[in-house]
A = this chain, B = another copy of it.
Amino acid sequence: MLKGIRGMFLDFVDDPFYEDEKKCVRFLADGLLVIENGTIKELGLYENIFSKYRNCQVDHYPGYLILPGFIDAHVHYSQMKIIASYGKKLLDWLGSYVFPEENKFKDYEYARAAASLFLDELLRNGTTTAAVFTTVHPQSVDAFFEESNKRDMRMIAGKVMMDRQAPHYLLDTTEQSYEESKRLIRKWHGNGRQLYAVTPRFAITSTRQQLNMAGRLKEEFPGVYIHTHLAENVDEIRLTLDLFPDCADYVKVYEESGLVTDKSIFAHGIHLSDSEMKRLSKAGSAVAFCPTSNLFLGSGLFNLAKAKSRANPVHVGVGTDVGAGTTLSLLRTLDEAYKVLGLQNQKLSAFKGFYLLTLGGARGLSLEGKIGNFDAGKEADVVVLDPRTTSLQQHRNSHHPQPLSNIRDVSEQLFALMCLGDERVVVKTYVAGSVLYSRN
């Protein structure tokens, strides 16, 4: 069955970090997106194509901006309840707040309720895909995927592995972790829109034996992802290198176990040497830039220009990293990204920012063929945004004509959205063509 969405469309067809921004943006002041069975059939100017789809039911959003669903490149569904926990840096914060909360996810029902709430919050924020940490408990993975599958959301997740440097109640063993992960991969990877990530928490909490086992899983199931943390905090790095004295740097720790791949997602990567960045580039790995988290934990400032260099380009997505991150809104996360970069004399234009949330994020997660823009054949994950939600936004944007007609106005309005926006601006969230969130 056909269904249509009409309004101002904006998406990206190329990477504005490397190509002329204007050529990367596709903007249709009055467009029609046609969806068939959850998949995009066509995007075109309304006046050019509507006659082909006369019998198609159309949701019309005059004055709103319609973008591909947002992609959160790194987030912990198990940490939503400990968001905004006071006063610690990474390692102490884990011990004081995270581990006690994660322990509760041994209870399947607790995990399932948390997953349901979390996914609904993502939808409220316009996020349709995420790379998600669960906990060490396999039931927390089942719970997550059950809920995600129910909503037909394109999600990446996997069982956390930890066999040391955490409370005993959260530790697994190499063998157990291997068996459980294998079962979960078979059950969930490619089940509907669900995708599996082999997920050692980080090098500190896994022995070499466990990291090697993670690499073995990736060999046995080449389609799965690797998802872990990397170079977030200076104390973490020091401890990592103490624990792996034969490794010259942090990336080497993961390389040794075959974990630096073109489907690896590394959260943070704040403190990486040129050599490490170069090796991530060569491997085709992705880094998740999590500015609200990096500021909240005082971890440091991510160097985006270095990651997106022409010489050694690394895929970058944006992560909220809740519970260390302070918001599930990727708009608020872009506001913080702009600031983190401004402190380093780097500028994040609106187009670059929204590219990272959509096509850039999709590329980072090796999902460019499935999601990230409105190309025909992709899955119809769509977010409808109202740039005049709050009284301040109404005042700020009152001089823009409606619909927007030139790319400069579009850019300015997007920038205001990324500075002033939050979940309130999300009017509708479509997942595979169905409305799963509706404002009010």
Q: Considering the chains assembled together, what is the distance between the CA atoms of A327 and B422 in angstroms?
A: 12
**A15 in contact (CB, < 8 A):** no
Interface string of A56-88 (1 = CB under 8 A from B): 000000000000000000000000110110110
A345 in contact with B419 given A81-B395, A117-B395, A124-B391 (CB within 8 Å): no
The residues in A between 339 and 397 inclusive whose CB is less than 8 angstroms from any CB of B are 339-340, 342-345, 347, 349-350, 390-392, 395-396
Residues of chain B within 8 A of A295, CB atoms compared:
339-340, 342-343
A86 in contact with B349 given A81-B395, A335-B326, A343-B298 (CB within 8 Å): yes
**A188 in contact (CB, < 8 A):** no
Residues of chain B within 8 A of A330, CB atoms compared:
none
Interface string of A282-295 (1 = CB under 8 A from B): 00000000001001
**A36 in contact (CB, < 8 A):** no
CB nearest to A86 among chain B residues = B415
Residues of chain B within 8 A of A87, CB atoms compared:
347, 349
**A17 in contact (CB, < 8 A):** no
- Output the least CB separation between A214 and chain B (Å): 32
**Is the beta-carbon distance between A420 and B345 smaller than 8 angstroms?**
no
Residues of chain B within 8 A of A301, CB atoms compared:
343
Q: Which residues of A contact B (CB under 8 A)?
A: 80-81, 83-84, 86-87, 117, 120-121, 124, 292, 295-298, 300-301, 326-328, 335, 338-340, 342-345, 347, 349-350, 390-392, 395-396, 411-412, 415-416, 419-420, 422-423
Residues of chain B within 8 A of A416, CB atoms compared:
83-84
**Is the beta-carbon distance between A83 and B396 smaller than 8 angstroms?**
yes
**Is the beta-carbon distance between B395 and A80 smaller than 8 angstroms?**
yes
Residues of chain B within 8 A of A391, CB atoms compared:
117, 120-121, 124
- Output the least CB separation between A176 and chain B (Å): 31
**Is the beta-carbon distance between A392 and B349 smaller than 8 angstroms?**
no
- Name 26 interchain pairs, CB-CB below 8 A, sorted by A: A80-B395, A81-B395, A83-B392, A83-B396, A83-B419, A84-B396, A84-B415, A84-B416, A86-B350, A86-B412, A86-B415, A87-B347, A117-B395, A121-B392, A124-B391, A292-B339, A295-B339, A295-B342, A295-B343, A297-B342, A298-B339, A298-B345, A326-B420, A327-B420, A328-B392, A422-B422
Residues of chain B within 8 A of A300, CB atoms compared:
343
- Output the least CB separation between A298 and chain B (Å): 3
Residues of chain B within 8 A of A83, CB atoms compared:
392, 396, 416, 419-420
**Is the beta-carbon distance between A342 and B396 smaller than 8 angstroms?**
no
Contact partner, A419, options B326, B338, B350, Cβ 8 Å: B326
Q: Considering the chains assembled together, what is the distance between the CA atoms of A292 and B391 in angstroms?
A: 20
CB nearest to A125 among chain B residues = B392
**Is the beta-carbon distance between A339 and B296 smaller than 8 angstroms?**
yes
- Output the least CB separation between A121 and chain B (Å): 6
A80 in contact with B392 given A86-B349, A296-B338 (CB within 8 Å): yes
Given contacts A298-B339, A326-B420, 6 further A-B contacts (CB under 8 A): A81-B396, A83-B392, A83-B419, A84-B419, A327-B420, A422-B422
Residues of chain B within 8 A of A84, CB atoms compared:
396, 415-416, 419-420
Residues of chain B within 8 A of A342, CB atoms compared:
295-298
Q: Considering the chains assembled together, what is the distance between the CA atoms of A412 and B423 in angstroms?
A: 24
- Output the least CB separation between A36 and chain B (Å): 33
- Output the least CB separation between A439 and chain B (Å): 13
Residues of chain B within 8 A of A81, CB atoms compared:
395-396
| Max chain B C-beta neighbours (<10 A), residue from A87, A345, A412 | A87
Q: Considering the chains assembled together, what is the distance between the CA atoms of A338 and B340 in angstroms?
A: 14
Q: Considering the chains assembled together, what is the distance between the CA atoms of A295 and B419 in angstroms?
A: 12
- Output the least CB separation between A236 and chain B (Å): 15
- Output the least CB separation between A72 and chain B (Å): 14
